[in-house]
Amino acid sequence: MINIRQGQLSDVSEVVRMSALFYPTTHYADWCDMDEDTVADLTENLIKNHIFFVAEDEEGLVGMVGLFVAPFLFNANVKFAVEVVWWVDPAVRGSHTAASLLRAVEEPARAAGADRIQMVHMPNSPPQATALYEKLGYCKSEISYTKDI
């Protein structure tokens, strides 16, 4: 059985471990190496000051989601909860863990004053991610492009 709970500082090393599994599957890995200290610092910041949840089973952590809560660029009276990371171990995909993590962040985002949650869809995101976003009420709002300079 998979349990969803708020992340704790004691989870940081496991989040770094999961990040090391996730990062090589992203296009970001072509740009630079993952720095474990950066991941640890960012995770601590999310846990202490923003929103961070983990999924765990009997073996340990198998998923995570982290969001920054920040004022919307065009109206500081509106806050967005913006995804920093959302990942589920491939071994437990299809178990509703991804959806459970997304549902878990909604109330804390509201409590933090957020009016909206914005999730990222990368080129290599699993195709079922789009279907899940739409099923949970998300709509496409932005596509980003990146250029090396």
Delimit the domains of the chain by residue range.
3-135
The structure's pTM equals 0.91
41 DSSP assignment:
H
User: Is the predicted pLDDT of residue 38 greater than 80, yes or no?
Assistant: yes
Q: What percentage of residues in the chain have a pLDDT greater than 70? A: 100
CATH label, 3-135, candidates 3.10.450.50, 3.40.630.30, 2.40.50.140, 3.90.550.10: 3.40.630.30
Band (136; pLDDT cuts 50, 70, 90): very high
Q: What percentage of residues in the chain have a pLDDT greater than 90? A: 74
CA distance 51 to 44: 10
pLDDT (0 to 100) of residue 27: 86
CA 78 vs. chain centroid, Å, equals 21
